[in-house]
Structure 1
């Protein structure tokens, strides 16, 4: 039996809206005890710096390159994560000594799987010094070094959760994470795992409403609910070669571009992109071993009622049901952060983080770099 550890997971996703923190007690295998979780929002100025960093990162050719402002930004991002950990511990009556390990994702600024290049800024050694806790970070690189796509990493955690859902869900079950990019984790009746990115999630909608209306996202789908689906614009995205390609690959935020002003009104653009998000999930699900019976939705996109409405309608046409994570007593906001805690524990024990059916790596492989306090 593996040792049970108390871990904190930290996630800053492609939406770049803040840091999710979650506590987990786990053996990195079947035992998963979910604890408190909280999100810490970035202020608008820092979010703009992160967005600008995506442009600077395009000049990166080696994983340790930090052109422009990236080195300073990496330090500030790390310190903000340290502050989030400190606040989280204080709020929950915990001390650094109560935590065995922190799983630190950092912020992805470049992901080019075809070039075996992925960059998540975040200084694990600095975070360990600041928090006084061991930190596992840089968990994607070893997968890429062994021929994988470097993403998605969360499926092994989804599979652990699914083992407790047999009484309430029809299998196959698919976990759908709608963040900036959407991804799917398939768990078959026999425990088979398959996973891949399914297409744009919130990122196109966020970019569209920010440029057109100066707001960071379409809260609850309010803007989209006033628009209509523009078939030609939707087809422009859904006819992308990504969806038909036999080989699944992980996506970078820049693989799909938002519409331009002449393409649509604010409302019609938001409505069309919400439809694209939902339709892309069902289109990509056609590459799974079997069509799902249940979709469990997590991530910020589950709060957009237009996306969820379209997803429910499209899935129902295939005999499947859609439910938010909360319907099966899971936390749709903190699941990725929980997963990073789970992965950190697996890394400490040398257990695989990625598998041929998730990232395309040649064989199941572990990963991560361990930093300990000085």
Structure 2
């Protein structure tokens, strides 16, 4: 019988809000379901978030600044791992490996590259644990998008023989995994999730996010602005596809804004943009779906969830808590699972999702 192994997953997503860590118990062969253990999170400081946002576009001395911030992030990742191990009362030697996504600051698969900041060697040194990182590059080298990488985990964790499920992760970017009863798993980035709403409320009110979508609900949709935003060719492109801040950023939004618009109306329009692009992705490419399960921070945006329910009609909408994992821990758990795949020389990508030429073992290993 296989002996279960413990992996830690680390995730810091496009929302730039925190580092999330989870402990996942995984059988080496993959013949049993993963089991979530302890979890831990540390927030980003305002200064770190600001520095990372500045690096998303060309700037002075960005090479050195990126490397230095990579070191800062790695120390924060290590601190998060230490907090997780303390809460679980486990020594570093109990962990087979850490799966670390790193912080994305560029994602340009059409140019053949992606960049996630982390000093993996430093992280391995500080944690005294083997680290697996750089998950996206091999898929891109094989002609894929390098993203999303979570659908394989979603299938392993949430696949069902009873209902056709879509797992919808609403982070800064929204991505979905289509888990049909028959046929292959598919998945892609539908477009912005929280990213534009977070950026707009930060500019207007100095807040990092619109809690429950409450501010958006005070506004009205601006039809011309919504039409202008939806005209971006990305929305009409067929999957496989992936996106990030390279497409959806404040400069792009400012170019579309109608002078004199009420700020709350802009926020409501941005919520509608997320809702419509997500709905179009599901109804256009997923077939007859029984249920949509929300994860990521956007799962707690009740205004967005209500709007999705209105648009999707009879499709049941719940969060992944109904499937055993709270929404905020799903992505970190996915990278623990991906680390297990790497350590056992098992493939981690799904070519139907990323468009790669075939299945590939992902990630670079920094052995302890």
TM-score normalised by L of structure 1: 0.92
Query: Could you tell me how far 1:55 is from its partner in structure 2?
Result: 2.2
Conserved 8 A contact 1:233-1:263: no
CA-to-partner distance for each residue in 1:36-73, whole Å, 9 max, x for gaps?
Answer: 212211111111111112124x79xxxxx961411111
In structure 1, how many angstroms separate the alpha carbons of the residues matched to 2:112 and 2:266? 34
1:336 aligns with 2:331: yes
1:62 corresponds to which residue? Answer: none
1:32 corresponds to which residue? Answer: 34
SS in 2 for 1:55: coil
Ranges in structure 2 where 5+ consecutive residues have no aligned partner: none
2:232 corresponds to which residue? Answer: 240
Question: Could you say what the CA RMSD is over the residues aligned between the two structures, in angstroms?
Answer: 1.9
Conserved 8 A contact 1:12-1:18: yes
In structure 1, how many angstroms separate the alpha carbons of the residues matched to 2:107 and 2:209? 23
1:111 corresponds to which residue? Answer: 107
1:278 corresponds to which residue? Answer: 275
CA-to-partner distance for each residue in 1:164-222, whole Å, 9 max, x for gaps?
Answer: x445xx31x11000001100100110262001001111110011111111111111112
1:324 corresponds to which residue? Answer: 319
In structure 2, how many angstroms separate the alpha carbons of the residues matched to 1:84 and 1:321? 35
1:72 corresponds to which residue? Answer: 68
Query: Could you tell me how far 1:366 is from its partner in structure 2?
Result: 1.2
1:266 corresponds to which residue? Answer: 263
In structure 2, how many angstroms separate the alpha carbons of the residues matched to 1:3 and 1:193? 28
User: Against the structure 1 CA distance between its residues 31 and 263, is the aligned structure 2 distance closer, same or farther, given a 3 Å change threshold?
Assistant: farther
2:20 corresponds to which residue? Answer: 20
1:137 aligns with 2:129: no
1:184 corresponds to which residue? Answer: 176
1:146 aligns with 2:146: no
Deviates more, 1:364-373 or 1:102-111: 364-373
User: Against the structure 1 CA distance between its residues 94 and 128, is the aligned structure 2 distance closer, same or farther, given a 3 Å change threshold?
Assistant: same
Query: Could you tell me how far 1:238 is from its partner in structure 2?
Result: 2.1
Ranges in structure 1 where 5+ consecutive residues have no aligned partner: 60-64
Matched residue count: 361
SS in 2 for 1:333: helix
Deviates more, 1:363-372 or 1:258-267: 258-267
Conserved 8 A contact 1:129-1:372: no
1:300 aligns with 2:292: no
Conserved 8 A contact 1:354-1:366: yes
Q: How does 1:91-240 map to 2 (within 5 A)?
A: 91-163=87-159, 165-166=160-161, 170-171=163-164, 173-190=165-182, 192-240=184-232
